[in-house]
Structure 1
Amino acid sequence: MDFEDSFRYKGLRQRLVNEIRKKGITDERVLEAIGKVPRHLFMDKSFVNLAYKDQAFPIGEGQTISQPYTVAVQSSLLKVRPGEKVLEIGTGSGYQAAVLSEMGARVFSVERQSLLYQKTSRLLKSIGYRNIRLFLGDGYEGLPNFAPFDKIIVTAAVKNVPAALLLQLKTEGLLVVPLGEGSQTMTRIKRLTEDNFEQETFGEFAFVPMLKGIAK
C-alpha cells in the first residue's frame, strides 16, 4: 500500500490491539486485522494524533468512525472466513470495511451520504483496498443484485432489522446489528431456513441511527 505509516503508528496500533485484547476480544484474526489497518488515514487531520485511542470520532456528515473495540466486537461476532461475501450497511469512513478486508472478506458496502461515499471510495483505492466494492444507496434495501451474502453487518442503529436484509442472507449466514433506540443491544441473527431465524444478544452499545434513502 502506498501511504505514510511510520513505526510510531505501528507501535500505537499494537498498543491499541493490546488494549482491545484486555477488554475481552480473543479472536486473533480480528486483532491481527486491527493491527494492520492504518486508522489514522481514515480520520480527519485534526484527530490524527488521537487515531489509536479506543474511541469514536466525528468524520463529517453527522457520522463517526466507530470505536475500535466496537469494530472488534462486530467483526468477531460475524465469524468471517476468507473468501466470504460480506454486505456492510453504513460504509462511513471505511475503517470497518478495511478490517473485514484484512480478514479475507469480499466486502460490498453501502453508504447513503454522497460526500462520504466519494471520499471513502478515493481513500480505499489509494491505500490498496481493492477487494472492497462501495455503493451509494439506501441501506434499508441492501444490495439485492449481489445477494445472497454469507454475512451482513449493520453499523448504524435500527429499531427492527429491515426485511430486505434478512432476505439477502444465505441460509446458515449471520447478520450482526445494533438493535434499539437510545442505546442498542448488539444482536446476531442466524438464518436457519428460508423462514426461520435464531437471535442472540451481546451487550449494550451506542450507534448513530440508520436513516432511509440517499442523502441529497
Structure 2
Amino acid sequence: MIHGKTMRVFVVFAGICLAVAGVFVSAFAFSPDDRAIARGAPGAAGPSPGGVERDNAAEPGQAGAVTPGQGIAAERKPAGTLTPGQGNVVAPSPPVAGAPGQGNPVEPPPAKTVTPAPAASRGVPDLDPPVDSLQKFVSYMKEKRGEEEKYLKQRFERGVAMIHNKDLKTEREVKAYLLTPREFFCRKWNLGRAYDHAFLDIHYGVTISGPHLVGRMTSALDLKPGEKVLEIGTGSGYQAAMLAYLTDRVYTVEIIEPLAQETDRLYTGLVAAGYPEYAGIGRKADDGYYGWEEHAPFDKIIVTCGIDHIPPPLLKQLKTGGVMVIPVGPPGAQVVLKVTKNRDADGNIAIVREDIYQGRKKEAFVPFTKKGGGTHFK
C-alpha cells in the first residue's frame, strides 16, 4: 500500500520524466526539410555535410533573370541580370538514358543543335581589360560589364598565378581568361571556390576543370582569330566561353542532355545580360566521340574528358596541320597531349604527340562516355 506522501513524490517524479522526454523528442524530431538537409539531398536548404551550400530548388526565371537560391517566394530580378552560380537553378529536365544518377532510364529527348548567330549580328564588344593593375582591371570591368568586385579580384589574382605558372602565354590568352566570368559557370554550392585550382562539381557526375588546367590546354591550342575549333565535353560552358574570345568560330558537343540544356539556357541568359559573344557558340547534345562532321574540318579540337586512345573520327575531322589537345591514358591518370596532324614528304599523314606538361603531371578527367551508357575506353 502506497501512502499519500509517497504517492505525491511518485507523481512529481513521473511529471519530471515526461517533461525531459518531451525535450528530447523536440530536439531530435526532424521536419521534412530537416531530414532532407541531414541526407544532403539536392533541393534542401542549408548546409550539407562538409559545409557545402546546396541548391534551394528555386523556381526558374526567364532567360537572363535567374537568381541562385531565390526560393519560390523570392523577388525576381529584372530580365537581363544574372547572378553567379545560377547555372544549376533551372527547370528540371527529363533524365537521359545512361546519364549518372538518373534512376530508371528513360527515352532521351531529341538532341538539340544551336547554330551560331551570324558574326555581324552578335555585337561582340570591343573590350580591352587592363592587365597591369588589379584596381584598373576591377574598375574597368565594373564599368563595362557590371561584374562583382570580389570575383573580379579573385579572377585577376588567379590570372597572375597562371601567368607565373606559364598556363597562359600570350596577351590574347590572358585577356580571354580575364574576360570570361568563371563564377557564372560554377554551381552555387561551390561558388566560393570558383577560382580555386581544382575540379568543381557541376552535377551529373562531371566537373568544371580548374583555371590552371583550362588555361594550359587553351594555350596549347594556340588558337588564332578566324580558326574553327571544336570542343568535346561542353560541361557548364566555361571552356567554350573562353575560346569565344580567341575566335568567332567555336563549336561544342555535350553528351549529357540535361546538362546541355542547362548550359544552353545559361548561354542564352548571358547573351541577354550583355555577353553577345556567346551567341556565336554552336552547340549540340550528342556523342562527341564522332565529332561534328557537318562543320568539319576543324583547325583545332579540344577534348575535356579522359580516354585511352585518340578517337579516329576526331583525327579525321582535324585539318592537316591542325592541333588537338586531349587527355589520354587509363582512368584517373591521363597525360594531356598536344596532337599535331602533319603530312610528310611522301604525302602520308604523320601524327606528332607532345605532353603539354613534359611528364611532370597527370590529370584525372571524367571519363569519355558514350550514348546508352558506358565509356569509350577500349
Q: TM-score, normalised by structure 1?
A: 0.94
Distance 1:50 1:188 in 2: 28
Question: How far apart are residue 28 of structure 1 and its match?
Answer: 2.5
- Could you say which residue in structure 1 is the equivalent of 2:339? 189
- Could you say which residue in structure 1 is the equivalent of 2:160? 18
- What letter matches 2:303 in structure 1? V
Rg larger for:
2
Q: Aligned pairs, how many?
A: 215
RMSD: 1.5
Unaligned runs of at least 5 residues, structure 1: none
Question: How far apart are residue 3 of structure 1 and its match?
Answer: 3.7
Q: C-alpha offsets along residues 124-181 of structure 1, whole Å, 9 cap, x if unaligned?
A: 1221211111111101111111100010000001100110000000111100001101
Q: Does 1:211 align with 2:357?
A: no
Question: How far apart are residue 195 of structure 1 and its match?
Answer: 2.6
Question: How far apart are residue 214 of structure 1 and its match?
Answer: 5.8
Higher RCO, Cα 8 Å, sep 6+ = 1
Q: Secondary structure at the match of 2:195?
A: coil
Residues 13 and 178 of structure 1, relative CA distance in 2, 3 Å threshold: same
Which has the larger strand fraction?
Answer: 1
- Could you say which residue in structure 2 is the equivalent of 1:83? 226
Q: Does 1:28 align with 2:171?
A: yes
Query: Following superposition of structure 1 onto structure 2, how do residues 75-114 of structure 1 map, counting pairs within 5 Å?
Result: 75-114=218-257
Q: Secondary structure at the match of 2:315?
A: helix
Query: Following superposition of structure 1 onto structure 2, how do residues 1-216 of structure 1 map, counting pairs within 5 Å?
Result: 3-4=82-83, 5-25=147-167, 26-128=169-271, 129-181=278-330, 182-193=332-343, 195-203=349-357, 204-213=362-371
Q: Secondary structure at the match of 1:102?
A: coil
Q: C-alpha offsets along residues 75-122 of structure 1, whole Å, 9 cap, x if unaligned?
A: 000000111110000000100001101122411100000111000011
Question: How far apart are residue 2 of structure 1 and its match?
Answer: 5.1
Contact 1:113 1:214 in 2 (8 A): no
User: Which stretch shifts more, 205-214 or 145-154?
Assistant: 205-214
Contact 1:114 1:214 in 2 (8 A): no
Distance 1:214 1:2 in 2: 37
Q: TM-score, normalised by structure 2?
A: 0.55
Distance 1:61 1:141 in 2: 21
Contact 1:75 1:100 in 2 (8 A): yes
Unaligned runs of at least 5 residues, structure 2: 1-79, 84-146, 272-277, 374-378
- What letter matches 1:131 in structure 2? G
